[in-house]
Amino acid sequence: MFFFVVFIAWIEIKVNDAQCRVRGILPHGGMAYVNISDEQVRRFDEDGFLIVERILPDKQVNEMLDAMERLQSGICTRDRRPPAQRKPFTPFGTDATFLTYFNARILDAAVWDIATDRILGRAAAHLLRSSSVSLIEDQLLSKPGYGKPLRLHQDFSAYGFSTSPNTLSCWIALTDMTEAIGPVECVRGSHRWGITSNTKDLECNRDDNDRYLAAAREIVPHGANIEYVPAIVSKGGGVFFHGLTLHGSRGNSTDRPRPAATFHWAGADCRIDRSKLMGYGQIYLFNGISQGDPLVNKYLPQVYPA
């Protein structure tokens, strides 16, 4: 009887593990097992984005939230900045729209460990069809209660230093998403429309739909529809999207903040154009990378293969 009970328990564990892996989760609370299939890559190629039910398990979600609280209190658990750069840090943005800690991995050990995880890197490389990927940015961000919209834009606009747009972003919800709280939304197929010139001042008012849509209307092909797809996922879920995919977020119509995290990778064909670094706020991140070299150094680590 004892061995029968043990056998049944073993079967239940195996079934649970298989179900978790189908949903993209590493069972038993470990790092996310984002197992991107060939069919998902095909859909990503077509749509420019891929919504995934689960990317980080609760343990890592809570670690990211704790890191955000530490940074808000001015606490670094591991400051990787050069000594001359170790100054007080403040978030980018405004209380009206969003507040963002850029490259939190440089300041917090827990964020570094999650952002540089090989499993996430493997998923990024698969979606980009790249032999390798390096991590070029991360963000911890919060849209405040009743926060304004963030208008449509392309993340590649921030990576002018890259000679190739073959970059990937991953937005991860750190709380359960609803339409009312203003999740990120992607425009289907917009990664094939070209590069927009609408790259500055992303804040807009709730009733200013023309401003929200400006980037899409500039480059949308004649006869094409502007179709939004919001990432309404539970905490730990999110969306991968190409660096040229238009995305934004509507206003937060609740009184609750909407915390999220983002990771950003460059494919193997991305090389640095140092002439485009002028005005970049954290120039030390590119130390040791010569003109035309891959975007890889100790601050921008290659995470797959690792």
User: How confident is the prediction along the chain (306 residues), in pLDDT tens digits per residue?
Assistant: 433 333 333 333 233 333 333 334 343 344 656 899 999 999 999 999 999 999 999 999 999 999 999 999 999 999 999 999 999 999 998 888 899 999 999 999 999 999 999 999 999 999 999 999 999 999 999 999 999 999 999 999 999 999 999 999 999 999 999 999 999 999 999 999 999 997 778 889 988 999 999 999 999 999 999 999 999 999 999 999 999 999 999 999 999 999 999 999 999 999 999 999 988 889 999 999 999 999 999 999 999 998
- Say yes or no: 163 and 178 in one domain: yes
How many separate domains does the chain show? 2
3-state secondary structure the chain: CHHHHHHHHHHHHHHHHHHHHHCCCCCCCCCCCCCCCHHHHHHHHHHCEEEECCCCCHHHHHHHHHHHHHHHCCCCCCCCCCHHHCCCCCCEEECCCEEEEECHHHCCHHHHHHHCCHHHHHHHHHHHCCCCEEEEEEEEEEECCCCCCEEEECHHHHCCCECCCCEEEEEEECCCCCHHHCCEEEECCHHHCCCCCCCCCCECCCCCHHHHHHHHHHHCCCCCCCCEEECCCCCCCEEEEECCCCEEECCCCCCCCEEEEEEEEEECCCEECHHHCCCCCCHHHHCCCCCCCECCCCCCCEEECC
* Distance spanning both ends of the chain, measured CA to CA: 46
What's the domain range around 109?
A: 37-304
- Say yes or no: 45 and 92 in one domain: yes
Q: Decide: pTM greater than 0.85.
A: yes
- Say yes or no: 44 and 171 in one domain: yes
pLDDT of amino acid 284: 97
- Say yes or no: 248 and 279 in one domain: yes
Non-local (6+) Cβ contacts of 288 within 8 A are 297, 298
- Say yes or no: 10 and 61 in one domain: no
pLDDT tens across 160-173, in order?
999 999 999 999 99
CATH of the domain at 222: 2.60.120.620
pLDDT of amino acid 33: 64
Could you give phi then psi for residue 158, rounded to 5 degrees? -90, -5
CA-CA distance, 13 to 17, in Å (whole number)? 6
pLDDT of amino acid 16: 36
Measured CA to CA in angstroms, residue 173 lies from 50, 51, 168, 214, 238 at distances of 14, 11, 17, 26, 6
Residue matched to tokens 């995470």: 303
pLDDT of amino acid 278: 84
- Say yes or no: 13 and 85 in one domain: no
pLDDT of amino acid 29: 41
- Say yes or no: 261 and 277 in one domain: yes
- Say yes or no: 72 and 121 in one domain: yes
pLDDT of amino acid 32: 58
Tokens of 210: 């023309």
Tokens of 105: 């991995």
- Say yes or no: 252 and 285 in one domain: yes
- Say yes or no: 173 and 114 in one domain: yes
- Say yes or no: 4 and 153 in one domain: no
pLDDT tens across 28-41, in order?
344 656 899 999 99
- Say yes or no: 124 and 19 in one domain: no
Q: Do the Cβ atoms of 122 and 259 come closer than 8 Å?
A: no
CA-CA distance, 236 to 62, in Å (whole number)? 10
Closest of 221, 212, 148 to residue 191, by C-alpha? 221
What is the distance, to the nearest Å, from the Cα of residue 190 to the centroid of all Cα atoms in its chain?
Answer: 17
